[in-house]
Amino acid sequence: MTAAAAVGGALIFVWLGMVLAISFIEAPLKFRAPGVTLPIGLGIGRLVFRALNAVEVVLAAAVVIALLSTDPPAVALIAVVITVLTLAAQLVGVRPQLTRRSDAVLAAGSEAAQLPRSRAHYVYVALELVKVGSLVVAGTALLAG
């Protein structure tokens, strides 16, 4: 295994850990914390996911650079492409919808419960699951050589 492959694999697993910790642990638990209201939870979520997505873009670029510096297995390359495309779909296609939805919920105040449910959140979670799977495959294939 080359140093570039090892660095790429390490970056992929750091990325995976961040997605798992934030999307599947922090996000659902924050609304269960005492005193966290819907507006506070949405505000925290927006900040946390904006930061996560910024770090993901940096990690994606670093992984691509690492892969360009080595001869990765085809399965690792395909999995990274899937991961990057999934991230792009989240950032360009889903995040703007989630932002509009949270803006509407915050503006509605106490009448937020009357707003129709958004499917964008479920799409984002489904894309997170795809991203997790492709990160596992990419990291494993890259480190296995």
pLDDT in tens, 70-110: 999 999 999 999 999 999 999 999 999 999 888 888 887 76
Q: Look up the pTM and report it.
A: 0.91
CA 80 to chain centre: 14
DSSP letters along 53-66, please?
A: HHHHHHHHHHHHHH
- Give the model's pLDDT for residue 128: 98
What percentage of the chain has pLDDT greater than the value 90?
73
Q: Which two tokens stand for residue 65?
A: 């650079």
Q: Where are the domains of the chain?
A: 3-144
